A = this chain, B = another copy of it.
Amino acid sequence: MSEYDDLLAFERGTRALGEISGRLGWDRETVMPAAAAAQRAEEIAAIESVLHARRVDRRVGDWLASIDARDLGEAERANLRLIRREFERASRVPAELATEIARATSLGRDDWLRARADEDFAEFKPALERILRLRREEAAALGNHGGEPYDALLDGYESGATASGIAEMFVAMRPALIALIDRVLGASHQPKRLDHTFDQDVQVRLSREIAGTFGYDFSRGRIDRSVHPFSSGSGMDVRITMRSDPRDPFNCIYSTIHETGHGAYEQGVSEKYLLTPIGQGASMGVHESQSRLYENQMGRSRAFTAYLFGRMWGVFGDFGIADADAFYGTVNRVAPGYIRTEADELHYNLHIMMRFDLERDLVSGALEVNELPEAWNSRFQADFGMSVDCPSNGVLQDIHWAAGLFGYFPTYTLGNVYAGCLYEAMRRDLPGLDGHLSNGDTAPATGWLRENLQRHGRLRGPVDTVAMACGFTPMTKPLLSYLEEKFTDLYRL
């Protein structure tokens, strides 16, 4: 065996352990007994400690030093690049800190759940302070290469992205979004809201069916219920979760389509990359491009909602919306609201911009945890024109900070921007797309994504991955044009 083969065999073991660690998280959110949380935190800390030790294992450094990349093919070089990147990042973080973060975030999630149930931020505050302190330490250990500490964390989710680059993108998008929101909210034509109760078991059955419609492979995954929907795993075991609300079936259906996008992306990566560094999605931003494209550009399109309207009539009977055109409006109804995951396509990005600014200040130290609820509430009032009525509708709504995921939020909007590009390219290549979607046939679209993007996994960096699929460099314009066109039509502006 060559040294590259030795390195890759070691890396396969590390990735297999990473899959196990991820599945422990899945288990915790879906099937874990209530009293097991503390023991589980110890288990997660134990495996994360093993993972950290492997990521900084001296043998990896030795292999990296002695392998000549010129002898390798494209996939091998990409694997080597990713192993080097991870080795260098991991080597900067002390083992105790990595273990402490794993433990604190595992426990933090329980404090967050309790605080959210009790509507009391104070119950979550000590955990969040500890998690933020640890992640600041991690950012300092990683170093910021002339940027700001936040960059070090962001880079863990989106290789090459920086806070200043994200901020610049947000500044460019924000006026167009706000202008469009103002026009939409002032329009005389306003779609109806749903006003009906929907059997939750039927919602779940229909959502499972729709996951299949979007190409989710149940032989390589499963769907369970959890408080916050998520996707987990790669390769041959990619699981997603859903939740339901009797008053709002779109919560269940569209979060399932969203997670199906994540899951189908991992399932779509070439099997020959299984358990290697390139055998996963290119980045969180590219991941979100898939989930958001499945959910919005496809799932909320006029064409697909016509199909979904028929399926909903089929399983729920008359639910108070008369025709597919009205249903398209209802699905895409624009209104400010507290909850990010339920936001329409226009407000969604405002939710992200707000979280990005807050967490950037938290990481830099410009904002402290005890000031966070007030900062959240006043920013929300300014951006959405509503005052937050309770913490679960405000600062306690997302699991991200409890999970330590500072630097993750901007990848959602980056994903929207990438989705805009991919959708433009897909429509260029698939002129009959709407006809297929209106028959509930997503195969041409999901096949296009699998062929042009998903199967390549992490072979290239995020921007190159999207650029190769689209045939052009990613930019904000396609998303903004898509939104302008869609909502101008829908609201008869």
Q: Which of B12, B35, B219, B220 contacts A220 (CB 8 A)?
A: B35
A51 nearest CB neighbor, chain B only: B50
Interface check A193, CB cutoff 8 A? no
Q: How far is B271's CA from A36's CA once the two chains are assembled, in angstroms?
A: 12
What's the least CB distance linking A211 to chain B, in Å?
13
Interface check A24, CB cutoff 8 A? yes
Interface check A202, CB cutoff 8 A? no
Interface check A218, CB cutoff 8 A? yes
In the complex, which range does the number of interface residues on chain A fall in? Answer: 35 or more
Contact flag A46-B17 (CB < 8 Å), given A39-B235, A237-B40: yes
A34 touches B219 (CB 8 A): yes
Copies of the chain in the assembly: 2
Interface check A155, CB cutoff 8 A? no
A236 touches B36 (CB 8 A): yes
- Stretch from A25-33, A59-67, A125-133 that touches the partner: A25-33
Interface check A467, CB cutoff 8 A? no
Q: Which of B20, B33, B219, B274 contacts A20 (CB 8 A)?
A: B20
The digit string for A160-173, where 1 denotes a CB below 8 A from any CB of B, is 00000000000000
Contact flag A19-B33 (CB < 8 Å), given A13-B49, A38-B236, A49-B13: no
A218 nearest CB neighbor, chain B only: B33
Q: Which of B31, B38, B45, B237 contacts A36 (CB 8 A)?
A: B237
Q: How far is B47's CA from A46's CA once the two chains are assembled, in angstroms?
A: 12
Which of chain B's residues have a CB closer than 8 A to the CB of A34? 219
A39 touches B236 (CB 8 A): yes
Q: Which of B12, B16, B33, B50 contacts A237 (CB 8 A)?
A: B33
Interface check A225, CB cutoff 8 A? no
Interface check A436, CB cutoff 8 A? no
Q: Which of B19, B46, B217, B218 contacts A43 (CB 8 A)?
A: B19
Residues of A118-173 contacting chain B, CB below 8 A: none
Q: How far is B43's CA from A275's CA once the two chains are assembled, in angstroms?
A: 10
Which of chain B's residues have a CB closer than 8 A to the CB of A43? 16-17, 19-20
What's the least CB distance linking A156 to chain B, in Å?
23
Which of chain B's residues have a CB closer than 8 A to the CB of A38? 236
Interface check A221, CB cutoff 8 A? yes
Interface check A196, CB cutoff 8 A? no
Q: How far is B43's CA from A217's CA once the two chains are assembled, in angstroms?
A: 21
A15 nearest CB neighbor, chain B only: B46
Which of chain B's residues have a CB closer than 8 A to the CB of A236? 33, 35-36, 38-39
Which of chain B's residues have a CB closer than 8 A to the CB of A464? none
Which of chain B's residues have a CB closer than 8 A to the CB of A274? 39
> Can you name 12 extra interface pairs (CB under 8 A) apart from A16-B45, A20-B46?
A13-B49, A19-B39, A20-B20, A20-B47, A27-B27, A33-B218, A33-B220, A34-B219, A35-B236, A38-B236, A39-B275, A50-B50
Q: List 27 A-B contacts (CB under 8 A).
A: A12-B42, A12-B46, A13-B49, A16-B39, A16-B42, A16-B45, A16-B46, A17-B43, A17-B47, A19-B39, A20-B24, A20-B43, A20-B46, A20-B47, A31-B31, A31-B222, A33-B221, A33-B237, A34-B219, A35-B219, A35-B220, A36-B220, A36-B236, A39-B236, A39-B275, A40-B237, A50-B50
Shortest Cβ-Cβ A-B pairs, 7 listed: A16-B46, A36-B237, A39-B236, A35-B219, A16-B43, A36-B236, A13-B46
